[in-house]
Every structure is written in C-alpha cells, then in structure tokens.
Amino acid sequence: MNQSANSSVGNRAVDNSSVDNSPAVNSSVSDDPLVDDYLSSEPETVKSASAKDLRLGAMNILARREHSRKEVRDKLLRKFDPAVELLDAVLDQLVADDLLSDQRFSEAFVRWRVGKGQGPVKIRMALRERGVDGDAALSECDVDWFALAVEVAHKRFGARPASDPKQRAKRMRFLQYRGFSGEQIRAALND
C-alpha cells in the first residue's frame, strides 16, 4: 500500500497533506460568547457595584430560596467588588423591607433538615456556618427529637432491635452522624 500523502480511493486521488490534524489551541469553538467565556482560562473579573446592582443581585439570590444575611453577603462579595459600607447599607434596607430575614431562613432551614432526618447537633452546626444562632432557632422549633431519632433508625434499619453489640454500635454511629445527641440515640435504640 502506498504511504504517500496522496492516496487513491477508487478512481479518485485524495490529498491528505492539507488536512490539519493538530488540536486547535485557544480557538473559538463556537459563535456563542458564553461557551467561549467558559472555555477560556482567564479568571472571571469582578464587577464594581452600585447600590442598585447589589440590591438586584441580592434579590436574584433571594428569589430562589431563603438565605441568611451572611450567605447573601458572601455571595455578593464574590460577584461584585462593593464597598463594605455600601453592601451593609443595602443588606440593612433588604432587612427593613422584610426581603431578607434570618428568622425566616432559620425556620425554613430547620424544617428542611428535619425532613431529611437530621438531628439537632448537625442542624445547629450548619446554622452556625451560615451565620445564624442555632440554639435560638432550635429552641423555637416544635420537634420531638426523640421520636425523630426513632423514626430515622427504623427507616434505616427496620423495627427489629439490634441482634448483637456490633449492630448496635453501627446504629449508634449512624444516628450520631445524623446529628442526634447521645441521650436521643440511647432512647431510640432501647425500643
């Protein structure tokens, strides 16, 4: 077989010498600027912000779900390059307009995490990470943590008690991971 740049296929000669098989480097893959921005290796530039930009950005964040003040502040700091005084003034105005509320956030957050079967220890830690007083939020909720621990244990392991100490230890570790206290775990496993 002929190894030259020209190969014959049937009765036609095909010239492969003009074909560029090397990968394109930093070439525009598409006409879409969003794709080009995604593929570029340059870091995203941070926009400077006005009060209007910050308010609109915060409202876009809050349109999806409730957020704590700290979460909104952190997200706006990443997206914009605002003056700290301006950012705090915008956040204060959002609180005054009742668009931003740590109280509403903590209630929704606790409901969501209880629905996932998480205990008070884990919820308290997650609230602290988000800048909310976890103790106050948990004291206001009306949840029977002992009943929830029993429900979570039964859902994961069934209603039968642990057959041996190894199984009991496994169940205790699971409930501890889920954020229940030692007292709640012992009560749940002593059915």
pTM listed for this prediction:
0.70
- Give the model confidence (pLDDT) of 3-32 as tens digits: 544 544 555 555 555 555 544 444 444 454
Question: How confident is the model at residue 15, as a pLDDT?
Answer: 53
Question: How confident is the model at residue 48, as a pLDDT?
Answer: 65
Beta carbons of 119 and 149 less than 8 angstroms apart: yes
The answer as to CATH 1.10.10 being correct for domain 45-100 is yes
The answer as to CATH 3.40.50.300 being correct for domain 145-189 is no
Question: How confident is the model at residue 41, as a pLDDT?
Answer: 43
Enumerate the domain spans of the chain: 45-100, 102-141, 145-189
Question: How confident is the model at residue 36, as a pLDDT?
Answer: 44
Confidence of residue 77 (pLDDT cuts 50, 70, 90): very high
Question: How confident is the model at residue 176, as a pLDDT?
Answer: 96
Phi, then psi, of 107 in degrees rounded to 5: -65, -45
Q: Which of 63, 86, 67, 58 is nearest to 131 (CA)?
A: 67
Cβ contacts of 161 within 8 Å, gap of 6 or more? 189, 191
Cα dist from 154 to 116, 145, 162, 175, whole Å? 14, 14, 11, 11
Same CATH fold assignment for domains 45-100 and 145-189 = yes
Coil, helix or strand at residue 13 = strand
Beta bridge partners of 4: none
- What is the share, in percent, of the chain residues with pLDDT greater than 90? 63
Question: How confident is the model at residue 161, as a pLDDT?
Answer: 87
Question: How confident is the model at residue 75, as a pLDDT?
Answer: 94
Angle (CA) 175-181-184 rounded to 5° is 80
Confidence of residue 187 (pLDDT cuts 50, 70, 90): very high
Cα–Cα distance between 21 and 42 in angstroms, integer? Answer: 26
- Give the model confidence (pLDDT) of 113-160 as tens digits: 999 999 999 999 999 999 999 898 999 889 999 999 999 999 999 988
Q: Report which DSSP code applies to 4.
A: S
Between 107 and 37, where is the model more confident? 107
Question: How confident is the model at residue 21, as a pLDDT?
Answer: 52
